[in-house]
Amino acid sequence: MLNFFRQHTGSAKDDLLSGLTVALALVPEAIAFAFVAGVSPLIGLYSAFFIGLISAIFGGRPGMISGATGAMAVVIVALVAEHGVEYLFPTVILCGLLQIAIGLGRLGKLIRMVPHSVMLGFVNGLAIVIGLAQLGSFKTLTPETTLVYLSGTPLALMLMLVATTMLIIWLLPKLTQAVPASLVAILSVTLISIGINQSYDTARGENTLATVGDMLSMKTQAAASGALSSHHHETHEESAAAPAITATETADAEKSKTASTSTPDSSASSIKGGLPQLFFMQYSMVPLTWGTMRIIFPFAIILCGVGLIESLMTLTLIDEITETRGKGNRECIGQGAANIVCGLFGGMGGCAMIGQSLINVNSGGRGRLSGITAAICLLLFVMFLAPVIEMIPMAALVGVMFMVVVGTFEWASLSMFRRMPKSDVLVMVLVAGYTVFMHDLASAVILGVIVSALVFAWQHATHLAVDIKHNEHGSKIYQLHGPLFFASVSSFKEMFDVTGDSDDVVIDFYYTRVYDQSGLEAINWLAEKYQNSGKRLHLTHLSPECRRLLDQAGDLVEINISEDPQYHVATDRLG
């Protein structure tokens, strides 16, 4: 289904219109994750601006959208609740410095170690998470300040507009691709929503169809009354999720509520603001001492890891969709620079946003201009167009994200179950399940890579075999086949008959390789056995890599040195 996104070739016009579409979807999500982090909604919006702008300019993946994300927000909330918002900004700056160091160390290429089965699980789990996140937008706040699901006419109208949004996104590209279908859908459904709300009784100041402004008001009231904490068992969704009330319903919701009420403008029910200011002009600065470093460094490490994993996984996904290749190391540097600037201006940090990146790609955004446009439009919304943006119905944004779900899920993977190796199916289901139930994409990817590596090691441990021959001089030749590493060491040791072998033994490594210290230790162990038995051991056809390992091992490998002219191999080694 990822082919759904490949219908666009990209142009400056597409980038501009796509960036505007993404900016509209960024507003409620930035607000939601600000509440998760326990900071003012404006901090979330300013963070999305800085992260999105700088990563679009300096990052390694044109067309990818970055901003304030839920994955990083759930890390921040504990820091803000325990030590105060003043410690947030140096933590975000330190996170950025660590990310730049990783990029300069060229460690971004490690994303290549993610197997395809992990990627499939990641994508499918992500699609399910995005879909489930939209259920929160079907809630409303009762006069008793409790969150309940819609029913009756409001629910019917909400479903009708969601379906209308999806229908426009599906049909419009068949007629024209002059404008992004998502943008047309949002604007069209917004006009319909305004008409519906005006036609119903609004004497109490309530809309029949919830808008972005209503969503912000509900979150503010729920946080102030503690309603969110009563729903702590519901899921916090990852940064890819669309604007949904469930984004604030985490296990840390009570801390988030406490922290948010202590920060400036946390009770504001509008997204209107001015130009962002440096954090030390708004907050007292914490002393840069070792005590401060001990507090912020663990949080910075976690933020750095979570941010880069999700950014690099998103980069890989966009690479696959657009059939181009981004630069992982440059993306690490770009994300780091963005977080440094974001921290300096009092932001909460962020990383790549999977859902918004898919909206951008689906809307035709392919270049850096799309990300730059999204960021600038977001700031303009905050400064000048807040009343207009707050009129956008949540139904339109939910419909857009439902179409992202349809386009993201790899439906073909369901029919591949019988053809895929059982181990790959296990990894794919494990990653998807962990993503859905634990709501942590970064940990899901790490778990998938670990399980894949263990499966690989287990399978290749059984691939070590030996052919035994004798030559006319009475030497016994063991010709190995397969890799020698930690998992195959036991099989390697069982292949040799030290007591029954002749006085001259040769191990031929022409068809094998020594990969790690466990293999070297096994050779050393075997050499000692033959030495104690008064027999000579020769190693032949060692690869350059094996020879380097043996050289680095120093005294670890001790084998009698002699020549075996029968093989005429320049790389024959006895030590």
| 139 lies in the same domain as 48 | yes
What burial class does residue 178 get, using C-beta atoms within 10 Å of its C-beta: 0-12 exposed, 13-18 middle, 19+ buried? exposed
Q: Phi and psi dihedrals of 261, rounded to 5?
A: -75, -10
Q: Alpha carbon of 187 to those of 67, 175, 184, 190, 282: distances in Å?
A: 23, 18, 5, 5, 36
| 407 lies in the same domain as 547 | no
Q: Which domain holds residue 392?
A: 2-432
Q: What was the pLDDT predicted at 567?
A: 37
Residue 127 located in a structural domain: yes
Residue 303 located in a structural domain: yes
Residue 453 located in a structural domain: no
| 391 lies in the same domain as 505 | no
CB burial string 434-470: b at 16+ within 10 A, e below: bbbeebbbbbbbbbbbebbeebeeeeebeebebeeee
| 420 lies in the same domain as 475 | no
Give the CATH number, domain containing residue 503.
3.30.750.24
Tokens of 339: 């977080």
Q: What distance in Å separates the CA atoms of residue 327 and residue 313, rounded to the nearest whole number?
A: 12
| 265 lies in the same domain as 209 | yes
pTM given for the model: 0.75
Q: What was the pLDDT predicted at 84?
A: 87
Residue 567 located in a structural domain: no
| 24 lies in the same domain as 134 | yes
Q: What was the pLDDT predicted at 435?
A: 87
Q: Average pLDDT, whole number, for the chain?
A: 82
Q: Alpha carbon of 299 to those of 76, 256, 371, 478: distances in Å?
A: 8, 16, 28, 53
Q: What residues pair up with 508 in beta bridges, in sequence order? A: 479, 540
Residue 420 located in a structural domain: yes
- The low-confidence residues of the chain, meaning pLDDT below 50, are 203-204, 229-268, 558, 560-575
| 418 lies in the same domain as 530 | no
| 83 lies in the same domain as 133 | yes
pLDDT tens for 117-137 read 998 898 898 889 888 888 888
Residue 219 located in a structural domain: yes
Residue 414 located in a structural domain: yes
Residue 562 located in a structural domain: no
Q: What are the DSSP calls for 147-182, one per residue?
A: EEE--HHHHHHHHHHHHHHHHHHHHHHHH--SS-HH
Q: What was the pLDDT predicted at 145?
A: 73
Among the candidates 432, 457, 489, a domain finishes at: 432
| 477 lies in the same domain as 422 | no
Domain count for the chain:
2
Q: What was the pLDDT predicted at 33?
A: 84
H helix intervals, 62-211:
70-83, 88-104, 116-133, 152-175, 181-199
| 358 lies in the same domain as 498 | no
Q: What distance in Å separates the CA atoms of residue 53 and residue 369, rounded to the nearest whole number?
A: 10
| 427 lies in the same domain as 499 | no
Q: What was the pLDDT predicted at 355?
A: 87
| 427 lies in the same domain as 471 | no
For residue 287, what is the DSSP state? P
